[in-house]
Amino acid sequence: MAVSGLPLRLATPEDAAIIASHRVRMFLEAKGWAEEQGADLLAALPPFLQRALTAVSYRGWLLTTPDGELVAGAGVQVRALIPRLEVLDGPEALVVNVFVEPSHSRRAMARRLIVAIHA
């Protein structure tokens, strides 16, 4: 499937390191932190993401260039839903880790990732 003219694929456990990097960079940019402030998070994320991707408690979508460079990604954390009036049982998905490489920004990639997640 192509989005924004770029191939879209589901993330695998082997993608944990790049997803971790995207997540840390997302926080560093949003919070204005220095890179060393994200070091502990960057170390903790890959094992967590590998487990979560294997268990499908995290599901990610990645956009790549035709030569395989990962340029954008987004995911959902799937978790058990506390029963409420509208839904008594079932999972919910929280959208997380929306990231686009700065060199590829302003091309509607994040929006299209969200559309793919909803689909």
pLDDT in tens, the chain (119 residues): 444 578 899 999 999 999 999 999 999 988 888 888 889 999 999 999 999 999 999 999 999 988 888 999 999 999 988 888 888 888 889 999 999 998 888 888 899 899 999 98
pTM, full prediction: 0.84
Structure tokens at 4: 């924004």
What stretches of 31-87 adopt beta strand conformation (E)? 58-64, 70-80
**Beta-bridge mates of residue 74:** 61
CATH number of 2-118, picked from 3.40.630.30, 3.10.310.10, 1.10.3720.10, 3.40.50.150? 3.40.630.30
Q: Write down the domain spans for the chain.
A: 2-118
